[in-house]
Amino acid sequence: MKFTIQTTVLAVVVVTVLGCTAARQDKKKLYTDTEKLPIDRKVDSVLALMRLEEKVGQMNQYNGFWDFTGPAPTGGLAAQKYDHIKKGLVGAMLNVRGVKDVKALQKIAVEETRLGIPLLFGFDVVHGYKTVSPIPLAEAASWDMEAIKKSAEIAAAEAAAAGLNWTFAPMVDVTRDARWGRVMEGSGEDPYLGSQIAIARVKGFQGNLTEFNLAACIKHFAGYGFSESGRDYNTVDISNNTLHNIILPPFKAAEEAGALTFMNSFNELEGIPATGNHYLQRDILKGEWNFKGFVVSDWGSLAEMIPHGYAKDLKEAAMHAANAGSDMDMESYGYVQHLAELVKEGKVKEEVIDDAVRRILKVKFLLGLFDNPYKYCDEAREKAITGKKEFHDGVLDMAKKSIVLLKNENNILPLAKQGKKIAVIGALANDKTSPLGSWRIGADDNTAVSVMEGLKQYKGNELVYAKGADVTVGKTVFVSETKINTTDKSGFNEAVKAAENADIVIMVLGEHGLQSGEGRSRSELGLPGVQQELLETVYKANPNVVLVLTNGRPLVIPWAAKNIPAIIEAWHLGIQSGNAIAQVLYGDYNPGGKLPMSFPRTVGQLPLYYNHKNTGRPESNEPESVFWSHYTDVENTPLYPFGYGLSYTTFQYSNLKLNKNSFGKGGSITVSVDVKNTGKISGREVVQLYIRDLTASVTRPVKELKGFEVAELKPGETETISFTINEKSIEFYTANNIWEAEAGEFKVFVGGSSDKTLESGFNYTK
C-alpha cells in the first residue's frame, strides 16, 4: 500500500516535471522567436498551449493586498489569490506597485506557472503618479493639447518606472452635472474638446509602448457620466441620440488613437448594465469600431449585475458579461469561479473565451512582456526617475496653464510685488495634501506646495496667515462629507483681524481634494462648511479680497461672483499647486485657461451645458408670459459659461470671414477672424469655433464646438486665426442611425467664450 502511494506520488511528480519542461520548451520556442512572427500568430501559438482553466485565468484580475515580498499568505482571500497566481489563474493585478512588489509577483507568474504568461499590472494613474499633475478637469481648462500630452507622458514614465504597465485612464465621460464627484476625472461637458483631450492623453500614456509608457484604458464605457441627478452609481437613462452624439465621440477618438484597452462601467444603459451590454461592447466597440484590444470590467461591476436585477447569481453574471464582450473580470471572482463550467455547459462558447484571451495576450505582446516580463522592473530606473526635476517642471507648467481667471475687477490682480501687507486666509491655503486632489493614490500626503509656500517665495510683501475655519479630512480616503466639514467658527476673529490690517486679502476656499472624486456626489455645490460665512465676514472687514478657489468641480458661487473683486479658479492643481498659484497672483504667469464646464447659478439648473437644444419655446415675446422654457426664479444662463476665462490683458475679435458661403460633398470652407491683444501685456487666448445646424433630421444643439486655436499675442499684436469647416465638422448621428452630414443651413460663431462670439453662416449642399 505504502509503496503504491509512493509510486503514484512519484509518477505525478515525474509527469508534472515533464509537463513543465515541455511547456517551458514551448515557451522558449515561442518567446525567443518573437521577432519573426506576426503578433496574431504569436498569440495563437500561446493560446494553442492553454487549457480552458488557464484561458479563463487570463480573464481574471485581482486586487493585491498582501505583502508580496514576504512569506506566502496562509488562509483567507490572500492565500487564494496567491494560489491562483501560481496556478496560472490570474491574468492581471491591480494596485500592486513599486518594482520590488511587482517583480516578486511577476516572478511567480513567469517562473512558477505552467506556461509562464506574464501579468499585467494596472493602476489608476489618473493625473500623475508621485509627481501629481492637476486633476484632469483642470488640465482640460488649459485647452493645450501638447501640455496635456506631456503631462500624461510624465505620469506614464514615472508609473512605468514603478513597475506598472497599464493605467486605468483616461476617463473620457462627458459630464454635465457638477453634482457628480467624478467630473474632476474627465474633460468636462463638450464631446469635441473631450475627444481632442482623449487623443492627447492616449498618445501621452502609450507613446511607442517603450518602458516609459503604459497601456491606456478608456473608461467608463459608457454613459456613466449621465447618472441621474449626479448621484454616483445611479441609473442612467439616455436616448440613443445622446449616446451617439454626445457620449461616444471621445471614446471613438481614443479608440482611433490606438488605446489598447477599455473599461466598462457601473451603470445600466437601456436597462442593461454596461458590463453585460452586448450593444455597447460587441456591436459598437468591437463591431462597428473594430476595436482590437480588450475590455476590462469596472471594479466588481460583473457581480453588481446581481443587485441591478439583471443576473440571479454570480454564475449568470459571468455568463452575461462574457457573452456581451467583457473580456476581463476585475475583482468579482465571477470568471475564475464559473466560466470554465459555463463553457462546459454550452452557455458560453469557447470561441468567446478564445477571443477574449487573444485580445489580452495581444496587449501583453504589444507591451513587450513576453520578450521581457521585467521590462518595467528596473530598480535603478525607479530610483532615478521618481520625482525628477524635469517632471516637476512639466507639472508646474501644466498647473499654470490650468488656472482660469474668473473675475478681475479694477485690475486688482496681478498683485504688486513690494510693500504690501497681505492676509492669507483659509485652511486650504496652508494645506499640502488637498491640492493633490482625488485619484492620486500613488502619491504621498503632504507633498504638494501649498499656496502659503508659493506666496512666501515673493519676499517683497508681508504675509499674515489666518486659518479662519477648518476644512479637515480624516486619514482614510473613504470619508463622508459630514466628517470633512466643521461648524467651528472660533477662527473667524483672527481672520477678521488679519484682514483689517492688510492691504489685500487672499482667501483660499473651496473643496478639499477628497471632497470630489468617486463616491463624492454632492447635492449642494456652495463652499462647503462655514467657508461662505467666513468669506462674507472677512469681506466686511476688508473688501479687497482675491478669492482663490480650489475644487474638483464647478461650484455655485453667486455671492462671490457678485461681490468679490477677483476670483481665480485653481482647481486641485497637483504637487506644484502653490507655485503655480503664486506665479499667477503675482503676474509672472498671465492666466489663459478657459472653463471646460459651465458654472451654474444654482444647483437647480443642473444638468447645465452650453450645447443644449433650443426647445420649442426658447423665448417669449410677451414680457409677462411664463409659458416658455425657463425658471421663474433664476436666469437660464450659467454664472460662468463653457469656454469662459479672462486674462490680465484683453482681446478684441473682428473681421469674421468665410471664404465662401456654401460647400458641397468633399468640399470645405475657411473661416478666419482677427484677434488683437488690446491690453498692455502679452497673453494667450483660446479662440473657439462653434457651429449650429439650423434644421436637421433630428434636433441639433444651439452651439457645438468644432475647433479651437491658441493665439499668443504681444500687446497691440493682431493675428488672423483660421479654421476649416468640412463634412466632418457638421456630421452627426442622424435619424438614419448613421453619422452623416445633412444638407442645410448652418450658423458659425467664433469667440473667446461660448457666450461671446461673432456670427456668420453658410450652407452645405450635398
Place of cell 434636433: 699
Place of cell 443644449: 612
In 622-755, DSSP assigns E strands to 651-658, 662-664, 668-677, 683-693, 704-713, 718-726, 732-733, 739-740, 744-753
- Contact flags string 110-129 toward ligand BGC, x per CB under 6 A: --------------x-----
User: How far apart, in Å, are the Cα atoms of 146 and each of 111, 150, 303?
Assistant: 41, 6, 39
Given candidates 62, 121, 166, 168, which one binds ligand BGC under the rule CB under 6 A? 168
Of the candidates 688, 190, 132, which has an alpha carbon nearest to the alpha carbon of residue 399? 132
Cα distance between residue 55 and residue 281, in whole Å: 20
Of the candidates 726, 724, 731, which has an alpha carbon nearest to the alpha carbon of residue 664? 726
Angle subtended at Cα 684 by Cα 679 and Cα 690, rounded to the nearest 5 degrees: 105
Please report, as residue ranges, which positions from 230 to 289 form the binding site for ligand BGC (by CB under 6 A). Answer: none
CB of 202 to ligand BGC, least distance (A): 16
Residue with Cβ nearer ligand BGC (301 or 688) = 301
Residue with Cβ nearer ligand BGC (516 or 598) = 516
Task: Give the CB-nearest residue to ligand BGC.
Answer: 168
Tell whether residue 299 is a contact of ligand BGC (CB under 6 A): yes
Contacts of 605 (CB under 8 A, 6+ apart): 631, 634, 636, 638
Of the candidates 654, 715, 710, 655, which has an alpha carbon nearest to the alpha carbon of residue 679? 715
What's the half-sphere exposure (Cβ side, CA atoms, 13 Å) at 34? 16
DSSP 8-state secondary structure symbol assigned to residue 629: S
CB of 168 to ligand BGC, least distance (A): 3
Residue with Cβ nearer ligand BGC (124 or 470) = 124
Given candidates 42, 176, 219, 432, which one binds ligand BGC under the rule CB under 6 A? 219
CB of 734 to ligand BGC, least distance (A): 32
Size of the site for ligand BGC (CB under 6 A): 7
DSSP for 633-653? SS-SS-SB-TT--B-SS-EEE
User: How far apart, in Å, are the Cα atoms of 455 and each of 204, 452, 458, 584, 587?
Assistant: 32, 5, 6, 10, 12
Residue with Cβ nearer ligand BGC (332 or 729) = 332
The three cell numbers locating residue 402: 490650468
CB of 216 to ligand BGC, least distance (A): 12
Please identify every residue annotated as catalytic.
298
Backbone angles phi, psi at 453, to 5 degrees: -60, -40
Backbone angles phi, psi at 72, to 5 degrees: -60, 135
CB of 204 to ligand BGC, least distance (A): 18
Of the candidates 117, 119, 54, 48, which has an alpha carbon nearest to the alpha carbon of residue 89? 54
Residue with Cβ nearer ligand BGC (153 or 173) = 173
Radius of gyration of the chain (CA): 28
Please report, as residue ranges, which positions from 506 to 525 form the binding site for ligand BGC (by CB under 6 A). Answer: 518
CB of 313 to ligand BGC, least distance (A): 22
Residue with Cβ nearer ligand BGC (515 or 734) = 515
CB of 519 to ligand BGC, least distance (A): 8
Rounded to the nearest 10 degrees, how much is the dihedral formed by the CA atoms of 408, 410, 415, 417?
Answer: 160
CB of 317 to ligand BGC, least distance (A): 17
Of the candidates 256, 219, 257, 99, which has an alpha carbon nearest to the alpha carbon of residue 165? 99
Rounded to the nearest 10 degrees, how much is the dihedral formed by the CA atoms of 618, 619, 620, 623?
Answer: 150
CB of 122 to ligand BGC, least distance (A): 7
CB of 457 to ligand BGC, least distance (A): 36
Pairing of strands 756-765, 662-664: parallel
Please report, as residue ranges, which positions from 724 to 763 form the binding site for ligand BGC (by CB under 6 A). Answer: none
Rounded to the nearest 10 degrees, how much is the dihedral formed by the CA atoms of 494, 498, 500, 502?
Answer: 180
Please report, as residue ranges, which positions from 405 to 444 form the binding site for ligand BGC (by CB under 6 A). Answer: none
Given candidates 54, 139, 190, 298, which one binds ligand BGC under the rule CB under 6 A? 298
Q: Which long-range contacts (CB under 8 A, 24 or more apart) does 385-390 make?
A: 385/157, 385/158, 385/161, 386/130, 386/131, 386/158, 386/161, 386/162, 387/130, 387/131, 387/158, 388/131, 388/158
Residue with Cβ nearer ligand BGC (478 or 627) = 478
Residue with Cβ nearer ligand BGC (219 or 440) = 219
Please report, as residue ranges, which positions from 66 to 95 form the binding site for ligand BGC (by CB under 6 A). Answer: 94
Residue with Cβ nearer ligand BGC (63 or 636) = 63
CB-neighbour burial class of residue 411 (10 A; exposed 0-12, middle 13-18, buried 19+): exposed
Residue with Cβ nearer ligand BGC (101 or 298) = 298
Of the candidates 559, 504, 515, which has an alpha carbon nearest to the alpha carbon of residue 534? 559
Whether the CB-CB separation of 160 and 213 falls below 8 Å is answered with: yes
CB of 334 to ligand BGC, least distance (A): 16
Of the candidates 580, 760, 551, 593, which has an alpha carbon nearest to the alpha carbon of residue 670? 760
Cα distance between residue 366 and residue 120, in whole Å: 12
Tell whether residue 470 is a contact of ligand BGC (CB under 6 A): no
Residue with Cβ nearer ligand BGC (268 or 298) = 298
Q: Tell me the residue type at 273.
A: P
Residue with Cβ nearer ligand BGC (511 or 518) = 518
Helices within 125-212 (DSSP H only):
136-140, 145-160, 191-206
Helices within 465-565 (DSSP H only):
481-484, 492-500, 531-541, 558-563
Whether the CB-CB separation of 584 and 403 falls below 8 Å is answered with: yes
CB of 514 to ligand BGC, least distance (A): 15
CB of 297 to ligand BGC, least distance (A): 9
| Footprint of ligand BGC (CB under 6 A) | 94, 124, 168, 219, 298-299, 518
